[in-house]
């Protein structure tokens, strides 16, 4: 991420997307962006003028769409729709974060009348013509904005705001570099302390001990698709082997979660069929955040992975020397029988 900071206007309905808006307000600063527009409730011309001013001053525009069309303006279209049209006329680079299956959201979040549902469907069709990223829960929304907003910034460079430090003196630049090095040293010391503390916890689950992996997935049965929670038992060795070969170099933790999900995929159908025997396919496995955190903490405490500081403020992990050794012991191919003399 550069020293520039970008202002991003976020347009959405209110009561049905509070948790999702919170995700965006947390993630945008990590991507070098300043969110705005979330707390405005347009009432009358004065508020609308304020909104237009914020859109004018913003570098990028995000529309977050769940399953509602939103409150109607005097013109008969929703304020979210009106903001989108205005941003389009101002040629703002736009990212659409659209729920994949809005009909599966709670009934309280659905439009009540056929006319409003028709307006919502028409609005979705209009939005689908731009840069669209799908989501279905907070974790997938976080992944979508992390993936697609940097892409939008790269393809549509904006003026943005420059940090005062970017125009600083050579002495300031040197001081900043020294501070970065010290941060890296402190992070390494922290990792060492965590491993030492873990050694005093007594025997830790590892190796062929089993762990219950919780996740959500799409289950298909009799032509229907349903989002279901599920659990599968995996050994700690199996979980580690799913991502360890890729961690000789630092990897983002979303990548690690994906690799664990691919391992779960191998037995998810069988496990789900225990309670849903008519299920014939399972896709889109997403590890539960609490479960994923437990996995990270376990391997970190065992001294097999360590966190790598990066300037992009994302969370990166890499194998330790002990992790490399453990991966080798799991993955190396052994002889099936003694070699014969030549």
The predicted pLDDT at position 165 comes to 55
Instruction: Tell me the C-alpha distance between 280 and 63, whole Å.
Output: 36
Reference 62, options 41, 42, 43, 34; nearest CA is: 34
What CATH number did the domain enclosing 272 receive? 1.10.10
> How much is the pTM?
0.49
Q: Do 42 and 115 reside in the same domain of the chain?
A: yes
The predicted pLDDT at position 133 comes to 95
Flag whether 339 is in a domain.
no
**How many domains, in total, are found in the chain?**
2
Q: Do 150 and 291 reside in the same domain of the chain?
A: no
- Tokens for 6? 């970008």
Q: Do 252 and 153 reside in the same domain of the chain?
A: no
The predicted pLDDT at position 145 comes to 94
The predicted pLDDT at position 188 comes to 62
The predicted pLDDT at position 322 comes to 87
Instruction: Tell me the C-alpha distance between 264 and 262, whole Å.
Output: 5
The predicted pLDDT at position 298 comes to 92
Reference 241, options 162, 154, 304; nearest CA is: 304
Alpha-carbon distances, residue 323 vs 86, 149, 260, 265, 276 (angstroms)? 53, 33, 17, 24, 38
Residue 46 burial class via C-beta count within 10 angstroms: exposed 0-12, middle 13-18, buried 19 and up: exposed
The predicted pLDDT at position 172 comes to 65
Domain, as residue range, for 118: 4-162
**CA 111 from centroid of its chain's CA atoms:** 27
Q: Do 8 and 157 reside in the same domain of the chain?
A: yes
Q: Do 136 and 210 reside in the same domain of the chain?
A: no
Flag whether 111 is in a domain.
yes
Flag whether 39 is in a domain.
yes
The predicted pLDDT at position 116 comes to 92
Instruction: Tell me the C-alpha distance between 333 and 337, whole Å.
Output: 12
The predicted pLDDT at position 40 comes to 46
What dihedral do alpha carbons 195, 197, 201, 207 form, nearest 10°? 0
pLDDT digits (tens), the chain, 342 positions: 456 789 999 999 988 898 899 899 989 998 989 998 755 444 555 688 889 999 999 999 999 999 999 888 887 889 999 999 999 999 999 999 999 999 999 999 999 999 999 999 999 999 998 899 999 999 999 999 999 999 999 999 888 876 655 555 666 667 767 776 666 666 666 556 655 555 554 578 899 999 999 999 999 988 888 999 999 999 999 999 999 999 999 999 999 999 999 999 999 999 999 999 999 999 999 999 999 999 998 998 888 998 887 766 678 899 988 899 999 999 887 776 665 554
Paired with 31 in beta bridges are none
Flag whether 182 is in a domain.
no
Flag whether 172 is in a domain.
no
Reference 233, options 250, 215, 213; nearest CA is: 213
The predicted pLDDT at position 201 comes to 47
Instruction: Tell me the C-alpha distance between 14 and 93, whole Å.
Output: 23
Q: Do 132 and 248 reside in the same domain of the chain?
A: no
């Amino acid at each position: 991420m550069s020293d520039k900071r970008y202002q991003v206007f976020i347009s959405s309905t209110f009561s049905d997307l509070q948790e999702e808006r919170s995700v965006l307000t947390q993630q945008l600063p990590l991507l070098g962006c300043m969110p705005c527009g979330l707390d405005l409730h347009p009432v009358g011309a004065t508020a609308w003028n304020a909104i237009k001013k914020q859109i004018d001053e913003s570098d990028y525009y995000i529309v977050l769409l769940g399953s509602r069309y939103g409150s109607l303006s005097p013109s008969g279209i929703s304020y979210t729709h009106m903001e989108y049209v205005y941003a389009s006329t101002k040629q703002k680079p736009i990212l659409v974060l659209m729920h994949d299956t809005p009909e599966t959201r709670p009934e309280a979040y659905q439009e009540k009348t056929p006319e409003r549902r028709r307006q919502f469907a028409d609005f979705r069709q209009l939005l689908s013509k731009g840069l669209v990223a799908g989501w279905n829960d907070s974790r997938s929304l976080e992944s979508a904005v992390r993936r697609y907003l940097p892409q939008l910034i790269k393809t549509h460079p904006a003026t943005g705001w420059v940090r005062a430090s970017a125009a600083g003196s050579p002495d300031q630049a040197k001081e900043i570099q020294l501070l970065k090095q010290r941060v890296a040293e402190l992070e390494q010391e922290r990792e060492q302390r965590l491993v030492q503390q873990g050694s005093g916890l007594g025997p830790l689950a590892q190796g062929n001990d089993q762990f219950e992996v919780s996740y959500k997935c799409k289950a298909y049965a009799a032509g229907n698709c349903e989002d279901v929670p599920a659990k599968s038992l995996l050994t700690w060795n199996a979980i580690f082997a799913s991502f360890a070969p890729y961690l000789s170099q630092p990897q983002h933790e979303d990548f690690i979660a994906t690799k664990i999900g691919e391992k779960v995929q191998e037995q998810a159908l069988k496990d789900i069929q225990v309670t849903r025997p008519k299920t014939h396919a399972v896709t889109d496995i997403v590890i539960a955040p609490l479960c994923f955190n437990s996995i990270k903490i376990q391997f970190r405490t065992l001294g097999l992975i360590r966190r790598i500081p990066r300037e992009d403020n994302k969370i990166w992990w890499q194998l330790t020397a002990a992790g490399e050794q453990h991966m080798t012991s799991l993955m190396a191919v052994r002889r099936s029988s003694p070699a014969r003399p030549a």
